[in-house]
């Protein structure tokens, strides 16, 4: 089973970016943590981060033939991107949306996710653990399809 983790804009700055909201771990730290968790679940994981909307769309499109599922933190594009939502729907791949912070507890504009309706569900507010919970959610979902 192969899972692609997608990260949107400014998540490359994790560790120094607003640590009160997003924690002290870098994206690399989170990736290392997820790789270990994935090994325990016997799942293969890869990671991609871009600050550019079209690059994220391209990656979702090319994931179709290579991956079984997506875990995506679209970051600010969560609240604006019809293109990313449409790309997830277009490839028809199971996806889980994740956020470090609880987007429902923050500014009004963050409470709307354009991308979540294209996903199985959303995990929000558990810091770096949202990535682990996203991995568990997508793995369980894909396994349930095999039974
Ligand atoms: C975020 C929440 C978004 O509103 C914000 O734009 C981000 C990070 C999160 O993980 O909490 O960049 O997706």
Query: Mean pLDDT, consecutive 10-residue segments, the chain of 147 residues?
Result: 98 97 97 98 98 98 97 98 98 98 97 98 98 98 92
* pLDDT for residue 107: 96
The predicted pLDDT at position 63 comes to 98
Provide the b/e sequence for 5-35 (b: ≥16 CB within 10 Å).
Answer: bbbbbebbebeeeeeeebbebbbeebbebbe
Active site residue 79: no
| pLDDT of the residue at 16 | 96
Q: Which fold has domain 2-146?
A: Rossmann fold (3.40.50)
Query: What is the per-residue pLDDT for 147?
Result: 72
Smallest CA separation from ligand 1 atom 1, residue: 75
99 is a catalytic site residue:
yes
* Ligand 1 mean position, distance from CA 77 (Å): 9
Are residues 33 and 128 in contact, defined by beta-carbon separation less than 8 angstroms?
A: yes
Say what the pLDDT of residue 36 is: 98
Q: If residue 139 lies in a helix (H) or strand (E), which one and from where to where?
A: helix 129-146
- Asked whether 17 lines ligand 1 (CB < 6 A), one says no
Please give the structure tokens belonging to residue 85: 């939502």
């Amino acid at each position: 089973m192969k899972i692609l983790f997608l990260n949107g804009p400014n998540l490359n700055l994790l560790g120094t970016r607003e640590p009160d909201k997003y924690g002290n771990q870098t994206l690399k730290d989170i990736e290392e943590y997820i790789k270990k968790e994935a090994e325990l679940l016997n799942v293969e994981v890869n990671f991609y981060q871009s600050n550019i909307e079209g690059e994220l769309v391209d990656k979702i499109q090319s994931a179709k033939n290579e991956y079984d599922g997506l875990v995506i933190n679209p970051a600010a594009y969560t609240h604006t991107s019809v293109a990313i939502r449409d790309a997830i729907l277009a490839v028809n791949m199971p996806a889980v949306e994740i956020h470090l912070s609880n987007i429902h507890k923050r500014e009004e504009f963050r409470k709307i996710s354009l991308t979540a309706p294209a996903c199985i569900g959303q995990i929000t507010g558990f810091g770096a653990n949202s990535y682990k919970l996203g991995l568990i959610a997508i793995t369980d979902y894909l396994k349930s399809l095999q039974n």
